[in-house]
């Protein structure tokens, strides 16, 4: 139930031609408090309820609990979400022994592309594709819950 993840900005759309899967994602937050976020997500035709805890001091690890829920329930809960829904396309890209999830955002977060990689330990090594840019793992501005409240298009 501990997620170990690193996040990076993406410098080009070269990842799209390397992608082996993509899906449309809409998500909202029932609670966007950084101490404990409660997220509702619709990914293609599936619904999910996710609870995440605050990250550790490195920002790499945090509690995560996720369950698939019926799509009708996910739609109903999404309608109850806080203002600031997230819409994105997620591309999955294999690099070495890992899979990057690359999110291209739309709506008020248009122009932002973030790659995430999940690891089995904080010290695990991984391949970095040429389109991977600056690491933003410990920058809360790039958390989806933050983006739902403070959209990328309004950043200066």
Q: How many structural domains does the chain have?
A: 1
Is the pLDDT at 155 greater than 90, yes or no?
A: yes
Is the pLDDT at 1 greater than 90, yes or no?
A: no
Count of residues in the chain: 156
Please tell me what DSSP assigns to residue 36. E
Mean pLDDT value across the chain: 95
Q: How confident is the model at residue 108 (pLDDT cuts 50, 70, 90)?
A: very high
Give yes or no for a contact between 26 and 35, defined as CB atoms under 8 angstroms apart. Answer: no
State the sign of the Cα–Cα–Cα–Cα dihedral 9, 122, 38, 27. Answer: positive
Q: Report how far residue 128's alpha carbon sits from residue 89's, in angstroms, rounded to the nearest whole number.
A: 21
Catalytic residue ranges: 29
Chain position carrying tokens 């690359």: 102
- E strands within the chain? 2-10, 19-31, 36-43, 46-53, 61-69, 86-95, 98-105, 113-118, 132-135
Q: What is the pTM of this model?
A: 0.94
In degrees rounded to 5, what are phi and psi of residue 64? Answer: -145, 130
Residue range of the domain that includes 13 = 2-154
CATH number of the domain bearing residue 129:
2.40.320.10
């Amino acid at each position: 139930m501990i997620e170990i993840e690193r996040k990076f900005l993406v410098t080009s759309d070269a990842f799209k031609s390397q992608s082996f899967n993509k899906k449309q994602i809409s998500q909202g937050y029932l609670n966007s408090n950084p101490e404990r976020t409660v997220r509702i997500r619709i990914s293609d035709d599936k619904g999910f309820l996710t609870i995440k805890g605050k990250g550790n001091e490195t920002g790499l690890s945090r509690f995560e609990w996720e369950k698939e829920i019926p799509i009708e329930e996910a739609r109903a809960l999404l309608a109850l979400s806080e203002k600031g829904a997230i819409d994105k396309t997620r591309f999955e890209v294999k690099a070495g022994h890992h899979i990057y999830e690359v999110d291209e955002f739309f709506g008020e977060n248009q122009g932002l592309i973030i790659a995430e990689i999940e690891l089995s330990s904080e010290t695990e090594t991984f391949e970095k594709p040429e389109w991977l840019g600056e690491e933003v793992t410990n920058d809360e501005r790039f958390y989806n819950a933050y983006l739902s409240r403070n959209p990328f298009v309004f950043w200066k």
